[in-house]
Chains A and B, each alone.
Chain A
């Protein structure tokens, strides 16, 4: 193995599982995902074989949990000083940033993949549209990636993990709310439709909703790719500027 991205990715992903944090996170994620689906979403009472409510709550679940993954990405490296070690090894800034982001995303992906029993359950109970469910999983993973990319950049700004967590959660909330029907309806009363559409099209919510309904549209994929690309690149710029402070 000689690619620096692969080497750092491996080290990072292993570091999640070197402490109990990873297991605590996964358990909380699974418990909350289940609780939301079964209680708030009335999984059994509705009597429909789909995962509509399971994915419906994902944006709010991620709002709470994904910043908890991203907050340590760079804050911890800066606080412990290991950033100086990492960046004086023969790797480029972008390789380091991409590798650490991908490791965080893979970790989120593992947590998401562990919700598979609910997919099995719904197939056991009825005859769901597995295409829609698959699309929703893809959308959910992309949404997690987008929030992680935001968090990567914001965690590079501070060596304090609590600040990184709170700021990431707030920025992600804004990015979600910008496309939420409640907000759209409200700003629609004061702003012209063109602006409302523009704001909504920047929202994570809008693009996740359309994938969640089972349509994998190229525009939504491009949106998430751009979001992730932009914020990951911004992370590299921020770190380059702040690394030695």
Chain B
């Protein structure tokens, strides 16, 4: 469990993190979203006990990170931003070093090292020094280090940055597999990742929480939520037909690919009406899609609103 209360960090007059409070329970995978410089990493660094908060508290499994730092650190696995490690060490030695400091011994140690090596596909690079590895491998070594002691709480700062699509998929599968009874915070720029691994998302900008919801509910805030998009052979006719439907508020055409989107009136559903009209008027379409909402659009409108608000 992770709990922060009014957590703040100031650098001189600048508030990097400004009174953030939230609670994450076991079983939750929390996605931290926000523009660069929003305070995501600083918040994670404070929970991990690396940056000292200016005010407020952070607790990991009930241990205050300032007054009981060792207990908090023992319960925590942390992948810092950029996955730093000791470049001159081989992967095997590095994992041994972390296992030593984590107090892993005997069969349990062998089993855990075997687990991370297998799940992060490190077997082929164990004897290579870390500085000779590609960015993707270094990231996976950082992840291996973070989950080595099978922590109850996991904080991962951009865990899939620099990985190729296959590796991203593997890491997401790994996070999902660990999610069951653990508390996990993941920060990311990649919005599709929120769907893939998170069951809760917090949007941060300028050091403040702007939204805290499930990914589905965040998507529902999008004006695209419930809209119907389609590609028709005769764009003009299709547009006219759709515009005549009572519950359709407006119809837009993407200037690039001529895709038509019909937006419903507030609280209405138009999918059935749209498909009926298409059938009745014999309009040929190559695809029809019910939009769930676009997270990137919600993200932009939330964070831009905050930027405008803060402007004097």
Contact = CB atoms under 8 A, between A and B. Distances in A.
Do A and B come together as binding partners? yes
Interface of A: 1-2, 4, 7-8, 11, 14-15, 18-19, 80-82, 84-85, 87-92, 240, 243-244
B80 A81 contact: yes
A11 B100 CA distance: 11
B45 interface: yes
Given A7-B100, A81-B82, A88 B48 contact: yes
Contacts of A8: 101
10 contacts: A11-B86, A15-B89, A18-B89, A81-B82, A84-B48, A87-B50, A88-B49, A90-B101, A91-B101, A92-B69
B159 to A, nearest CB: 15
Contacts of B51: 244
B85 A85 contact: yes
Given A82-B86, A88-B78, A2 B50 contact: no
Interface residues of B, number: 30
Given A11-B86, A15-B88, A90 B80 contact: no
Given A7-B101, A90-B101, A91-B101, A18 B145 contact: no
Chain B CB within 10 A, most for which of A19, A85, A87, A92: A85
A240 B74 CA distance: 20
Contact of B80 (A4, A85, A240): A85
Contacts of B81: 81
B48 A89 contact: no
B243 interface: no
Interface string B61-76: 0000000011001101
Nearest to B145: A85
Nearest to B149: A90
A interface, by DSSP: helix, strand, loop or mixed?
helix
A90 B74 contact: yes
A19 B48 contact: no
A4 B99 CA distance: 11
Contacts of A87: 49-50
B264 to A, nearest CB: 48
A11 B145 contact: no
A84 B50 contact: yes
A244 B103 CA distance: 26
A84 B97 contact: no
Nearest to A12: B86
B305 interface: no
Nearest to A91: B101
Contacts of B69: 92
Given A84-B45, A243-B50, A244-B50, A90 B88 contact: no
Contacts of B73: 88-90
A149 to B, nearest CB: 23
B87 interface: yes
A89 B88 contact: no
Nearest to B70: A90
Contacts of A4: 101
A88 B80 contact: yes
Contacts of A84: 45, 48, 50, 80, 84
A14 B73 CA distance: 25
B88 A81 contact: no
Name which of A19, A88, A92 has the most chain B CB atoms within 10 A of its CB: A88
B50 A11 contact: no
A87 B45 CA distance: 11
